[in-house]
Amino acid sequence: MNLEDHAGDILRKARSSGPLTPEAAAALAGLTTAEYAALEDTGKAVRPPNFAVIASALGLSAPKLEKIYAGWLPAPVDLGQWRELRQITTSRGGNTVHCYLAWDEGTRDAAVFDTGFEAEPIIKLIAENELQLRHLFITHTHHDHIEAMEPLRQRFPQMRIHTDAKAAPPQHKNRRNDCVHVGSLRVSNRETTGHAEDGVTYLIGNWPEDAPHVAIVGDCLFAGSMGGARQLLDHAKQKVREQVFSLPPDTLICPGHGPLTTVVQEKAHNPFFQ
Considering only 120-128, 135-143, 158-166, 206-214, which stretch makes contact with Zn ion by CB under 5 A? 135-143
Q: Does 257 contact Zn ion by CB under 5 A?
A: no
Q: How far apart are CA 227 and CA 225, in angstroms?
A: 7
Q: How far is the CB of 138 from Zn ion (least distance, A)?
A: 11
The whole-angstrom separation of Cα 55 and Cα 70 is 15
Q: In degrees to the nearest 10, what's the CA dihedral of 153, 159, 162, 166?
A: 40
CA distance 118 to 218: 17
- Going by the DSSP 8-state scheme, the letter that residue 187 receives in this structure is E
Instruction: Give the one residue of 6, 135, 142, 269 binding Zn ion; rule: CB under 5 A.
Output: 142
- Least distance from Zn ion to the Cβ atom of residue 196, Å: 6
Rounded Cα distance between 160 and 135, Å, is 5
Least spacing, CB of residue 223 vs Zn ion, in Å: 15
Which of 222, 273 has the CB closer to Zn ion? 222
How far apart are CB 206 and Zn ion at their closest, in Å? 28
Picking from 230, 228, 221, the residue whose alpha carbon sits closest to that of residue 259 is: 221
Contact positions with Zn ion (CB under 5 A) in 175-204? none
In angstroms, give the least distance from the CB of 152 to Zn ion: 18
When binding is defined by CB under 5 A, the residue of 9, 84, 164, 219 that contacts Zn ion is: 219
CB atoms within 10 A of CB 77: 16
What are residue 99's DSSP bridge partners?
88
Stretch that binds Zn ion, among 73-81, 119-127, 137-145, 166-174 (CB under 5 A): 137-145
Binding residues for Zn ion, rule: CB under 5 A, are 142, 219
